[in-house]
């Protein structure tokens, strides 16, 4: 269960609006990015939320990985996104792959401001480290 | 996107082994627990991993919630589990529901030792708070 959990909260994303609205397109991009990073996708689930009084509905994409999971939530009315990449160390240290996947997704959404953190999971010596 | 993300890493779980091995059973329990906590399940994906040289394969259960997501990973050979409950504040503050769901799952797995943390998502004033 030991491994690395990366979080990123993205504000003012400058990407094409489709990345915030089109669950199927985002799902394919996430799966491609995970595989390109060397992670193994074992399941995928996407959901589109209906429009609300605040604006168009966001989307959620979750990939189940052999190494754990990726979760993406979008809020198109705020041009905001949250990202979670968690990789356990089963079969090796996959930290670099997690960082690569996170980097690809940040480059996709093009946020003007990002809050990033990382958490070491499954160890008593848990540390929370804000990422510059 | 603002909201509460709870993590828990569970060690030495004393529960019936089925909760660590049976993806379908765990999926139903998670869905029931989420709904009982007042959260709205909009999608569910489970995966069972094959046995390895380390022992029986674990399972992953992910629920997509109207309020964000739940991810559960089990490592039966270690009697270990990781839990993630993330609820955004869209439509209200769902923090109490997230805490209720986490409490139900901790009571299900019966860990002898647990590392818990909480992270406020989507705010510049992000704080990481270890939970006693």
Q: Render pLDDT for A16-72 as a digit per residue (tens, 0 to 9).
A: 999 999 999 999 999 999 999 999 999 999 999 999 888 999 999 999 999 999 999
> pTM here?
0.92
Instruction: Tell me which residue range forms the domain holding A101.
Output: 3-122
Would A12 be classed as within a structural domain?
yes
Between chains, do B73 and A78 touch, taking CB under 8 Å as contact?
Answer: no
* Chain-chain contact of B73 with A68 (C-beta, under 8 angstroms): yes
Question: Is A128 a member of any domain?
Answer: no
Residue with tokens 């006693």: B132
Chain A residues in contact with B128 by the CB 8 A cut-off are: 117, 119, 128, 130
- Whether residue A102 is contained in a domain is answered as yes
Number of structural domains (chain A) is 1
CATH number at residue A82: 3.60.90.10
Residue of A9, A11, A27, A130 to mutate, testing the B interface (most B Cβ within 10 Å of its Cβ)? A9
pLDDT beyond 80 at A73: yes
Say whether B130 and A126 touch across the interface (CB within 8 A).
Answer: yes
Of A64, A81, A121, the CB nearest to B45: A64
Is A14 a member of any domain?
Answer: yes
The ipTM assigned to this model is 0.91
Residue A113 in any domain: the answer is yes
Name the pLDDT band for B53 (thresholds 50, 70, 90): confident
In DSSP terms, B75 is beta-bridged to B80
**Does residue A131 fall inside a structural domain?**
no
B-chain residues within 8 Å CB-CB of A88? 73, 75, 82
Terminal CA-CA length for chain B: 26
Contact A98, A6 (CB under 8 A): yes
* Chain B residues touching A20 at Cβ < 8 A: none
Q: Which residues contact A131 (CB under 8 A, 6 or more apart)?
A: A6, A116, A117, A118
């Amino acid at each position: 269960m030991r491994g690395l959990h990366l979080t990123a909260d993205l504000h003012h994303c400058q990407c094409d609006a489709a990345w915030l609205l089109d669950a199927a397109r985002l799902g394919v991009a996430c799966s491609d990015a995970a595989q390109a990073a060397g992670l193994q996708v074992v399941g995928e689930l996407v959901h589109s939320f209906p429009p609300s009084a605040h604006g168009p509905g966001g989307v959620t994409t979750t990939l189940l990985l052999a190494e754990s999971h990726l979760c993406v939530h979008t809020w198109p009315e705020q041009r905001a996104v949250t990202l979670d990449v968690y990789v356990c160390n089963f079969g090796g240290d996959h930290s670099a792959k997690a960082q690569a996947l996170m980097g690809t997704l940040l480059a996709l959404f093009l946020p003007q401001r990002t809050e990033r953190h990382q958490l070491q999971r499954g160890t008593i010596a848990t540390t929370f480290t804000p990422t510059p």
